[in-house]
Chains A and B, each alone.
Chain A
Amino acid sequence: MSFISYLINGISLGSVYAIIALGYTMVYGIAKMLNFAHGDVIMVGSFAVFTIVSTLGLPPVLGILVAVVICTVLGMAIERVAYKPLRNASSPLAVLITAIGVSYLLQNVALLIFGANTKSFTSVVAISPLKLADGQLMISGETIVTIIAGIVIMVCLTLFVNKSKAGQAMLAVSEDKGAAQLMGINVNGTIALTFAIGSALAAIAGVLLCSAYPSLTPYTGAMPGIKAFVAAVFGGIGSIPGAMIGGILLGIIEILGKAYISSQMADAIVFAVLIIVLLVKPTGILGKNIQEKV
């Protein structure tokens, strides 16, 4: 019984990782950059909801909408100011470092505005927990919502990328920027759109993260961001269903590792499993193996 209970906890944690990883993988898959600031955009989204719902007392739905708008604008602004000028830089590492700078910047702005004190986030989910087996097993409302949201986002993104014109443009840009431009695709617009979608997803992820784990500080996004990055790599970075699977697996491994091996070494276990998976399947679980050309 306790095993099933751990498994459920693992899925709860994993669903949060998964929803963050979706945004990560979206940006990475199209723009081919590791956006280290993604975790901090999540934090900004959470603070936006916190301010609107808890401080101003407005309804959560409005809070989520505003947070999505704020994060979308923020994501596009970051892309325009900090990433776009470096798109054709001689090394892809340049933009990685700028992303780290942006991450510091967002953390410190939040620190100045909201202070260092921990805020307790009020869950926006009003569903009561699902009780199974005479109340011995419990699935929280947040978990249900997060998993449903994750699946919906995953399906929508997959459809969007594969069926819509803008989505096809994204695929083309990710494949070859120069060729895409020659085909009349607005590369800048497409990448900006990618960031807009990724950041909007970050806002939703932030709300769900803080609903499930209601503690909010300017540094809230950093660690889940890295974990979600690991999840995205785990599932095959760039692959949308891969991010979902990677996230949930990561959560399950983390919880089971804590439960059955050692609670002190949970991170070491997670990372060790990641290394083993990557050594066996070097592009992640669902990653495409691109043959190197001479």
Chain B
Amino acid sequence: MKRFDKVMSLVMVSAIAVSLLAGCGNSDAGAQADNAASETNNEAAASETDTTEADDNSAAADSTASGAFKIGGIGPTTGSAAVYGVAVQNAAQLAVDEINAAGGINGVSIEFKFEDDECDAEKSVNAYNTLKDWGMQMLMGTVTSGCSVAVAEKTSGDNMFQLTPSGSSVDCVKYDNAFRVCFSDPNQGAASAQYIGENSVASSVAVIYDSSDIYSSGIYEKFVSEAANQPFEIVSAEAFTADNKTDFSVQLQKAKDAGAELVFLPIYYTEASLILSQASTMGYEPIFFGCDGLDGILNVQNFDTSLAEGVMLLTPFAADAEDELTQKFVTAYKEKFGDTPNQFAADAYDAIYAIKAAGEKAGITPDMDMSTMCEAMKTAMTEITLDGLTGVGMTWDASGEPNKAPKAVKITDGVYTAM
């Protein structure tokens, strides 16, 4: 037994040595194996893989002399947050394919590669490094806030342009190379409180939030502090955690006992769908009010949409909006991935188009180095105006925050209607 362990350990050590070498720099074997695999799995990228293979040998280290822009994406595609990462991956791929079909950025096509981070900051940094080895020039990511903060540290060190579609916590864009498409958490919390107060939606409000989630607790805190200036009262504020999100009877019971007319849900739609169904079982019928995380609730497969009747949400995107851009996007997305896109998908789609717009404004070329490109993009981002899925006339300022108006929508008869 012990002797064999020695043999085994020798074998394993050599395996590591081999893998280290394979992972190193410009090793052909590693890079090509990667490409071969992504070719089989990612049909959408199939048209680009042949160019990738040729580029890899020269471009990995300094990403020059490549015939295409290399944009990387990071987000969870496995693990319990996979639903957000997959949406971003799909929508970004869709946008990239559209742009490439229309001639690319400044006539140069885009290569897009998405890496999984399992919603873990450490894995996210690994994913970032993998993409750097691939020769990434700009980063569209990461999807979740915690990872985004960790990766922003690296991108700012490398001076790489970063645009996060959905990293909403304040620290995601604290460096000047980082921008975001979604609203920031404080922004949403304050906007929600103002909306409820100014439109006199309710006078007594209960909050149910996820205290273990950055997004949710960020919105909650700002909501509470803004509520002090508004003509309504918070009568109950109850939390749940990532490990305890199946039963919401207590939180709902407390809201009901406190006589709340409105329940504010700064959470994601997965939990919200459970809250709605449990409230209905309890016979509690307040107004439910949510933020952009709630978008997607109508598209939960097999969800009884009558439960969501009357739910209000502040969201920049609604999958059944009537405008042409949204319709086109939703149809294309459904056709390709068989799902209705959620707000994350819309953010990612806009992110890719924002990169395109800024790239054209800055006149970037693929042979620029990462840092020069970042400088050019940084300036250009503040100069563009984008009509996207998540807002018309979006602009960015140097802080990285987008300027766009949240839309308040209400669910009536199973569809969103603007208020």
- Interface residues of chain A, those whose CB is within 8 Å of chain B, are 2, 5-6, 9, 12-13, 50, 54, 90, 108, 111, 115-122, 129, 135, 138, 140, 213-215, 217-219, 223-224, 254-255, 258-259, 263-264, 266-267
Which of B246, B251, B254, B303 is in CB contact (< 8 Å) with A120? B303
Is B300 an interface residue when CB atoms closer than 8 A count as contact?
A: yes
A9 engages B83 (CB within 8 Å)? no
- Given known pairs A115-B86, A264-B241, the reply for A259 and B302 (CB within 8 Å) is no
Q: List 16 A-B contacts (CB under 8 A).
A: A9-B250, A12-B247, A117-B339, A118-B269, A118-B273, A120-B304, A213-B246, A215-B270, A217-B83, A219-B79, A224-B246, A254-B247, A258-B250, A263-B250, A264-B239, A267-B244
Q: How far is the CA of A140 from the CA of B239 in the complex (A)?
A: 24
Q: How far is the CA of A255 from the CA of B238 in the complex (A)?
A: 13
B243 engages A267 (CB within 8 Å)? yes
Which A residue's beta carbon lies closest to that of B245?
A: A223
B33-84 contacts to A, CB under 8 A, are: 77-80, 82-83
CB distance from B392 to the nearest CB of A (A): 28
A116 engages B83 (CB within 8 Å)? yes
Q: How far is the CA of A214 from the CA of B282 in the complex (A)?
A: 15
Is B157 an interface residue when CB atoms closer than 8 A count as contact?
A: no
CB distance from A260 to the nearest CB of B (A): 9
CB distance from A64 to the nearest CB of B (A): 17
A255 engages B249 (CB within 8 Å)? yes
- Interface residues of chain B, those whose CB is within 8 Å of chain A, are 1, 77-80, 82-83, 85-86, 211, 238-241, 243-244, 246-247, 249-251, 253-254, 257, 269-271, 273-274, 277, 281-283, 300-304, 339
B80 engages A213 (CB within 8 Å)? no
B244 engages A118 (CB within 8 Å)? no
A50 engages B250 (CB within 8 Å)? no
CB distance from B17 to the nearest CB of A (A): 25
Q: How far is the CA of A244 from the CA of B375 in the complex (A)?
A: 64
Question: Which of A118, A122, A255: most chain B CB closer than 10 A?
Answer: A118
- On chain A, the residues within 8 Å of B80 by CB distance are 217, 219
CB distance from A114 to the nearest CB of B (A): 9
B83 engages A117 (CB within 8 Å)? yes
- Given known pairs A119-B301, A120-B273, A214-B274, the reply for A2 and B253 (CB within 8 Å) is yes
- Given known pairs A116-B83, A259-B250, the reply for A50 and B302 (CB within 8 Å) is yes
B247 engages A255 (CB within 8 Å)? yes
- On chain A, the residues within 8 Å of B257 by CB distance are 2
- On chain B, the residues within 8 Å of A9 by CB distance are 247, 249-250, 253
Which of A120, A218, A267 is in CB contact (< 8 Å) with B301? A120
Q: How far is the CA of A115 from the CA of B299 in the complex (A)?
A: 14
CB distance from A265 to the nearest CB of B (A): 9
